[in-house]
Amino acid sequence: MRLLGPLDTEDRRGVVSFSVGGFSAEDACRRLDGRGVALRGGHHCVQPILGAFGLEGAARASLAPYTVHADITVLLDGIDELVSTKASRLAPQNGMWGGQKACSGT
């Protein structure tokens, strides 16, 4: 998971943009929507900046005064699930890496 923008929380406001490697912004938003998390995904009218980050899009969560701790927990759990899903897709399964036979070194 890659957090975009300032890392210092004093420089942040109620908007958090991020990307999860292996998922397009739209796919990440769709998967999190299935958990009840409403996000925006895309280029957010900042294509040059996203291009400088090597991204085509980002997911964006907007927090508001009515956002409660449970909402944030669901978002973070959903992101963890995406990261785990990506990791499981990359892990060798039955001697295979991503559908290809792992190199045996011989």
Question: Would you write out the chain's pLDDT as a tens digit for each of its 106 residues?
Answer: 999 988 888 878 889 999 999 899 999 999 999 999 999 999 999 999 999 999 999 999 999 999 999 999 999 999 999 999 876 665 555 554 444 433 334 3
Domain that holds residue 22: 14-75
* Inter-helix orientation angle 25-33/69-90, to 10°: 120
Is position 37 within any domain? yes
| 102 domain residue, yes or no | no
Q: Is residue 59 part of a domain?
A: yes
- Considering 45, 52, 68, 103, which one is annotated as catalytic? 45
Q: Indicate the pTM of the whole model.
A: 0.76
CATH number at residue 27: 3.90.1150.10
- Number of structural domains in the chain: 1
Q: Is residue 71 part of a domain?
A: yes
* Ramachandran sector of residue 44 (left: φ over 0; alpha: ψ -120 to 50; beta: rest): left
- 38 within domain boundaries: yes
Residue 88 lies in a domain: no
45 labelled catalytic = yes
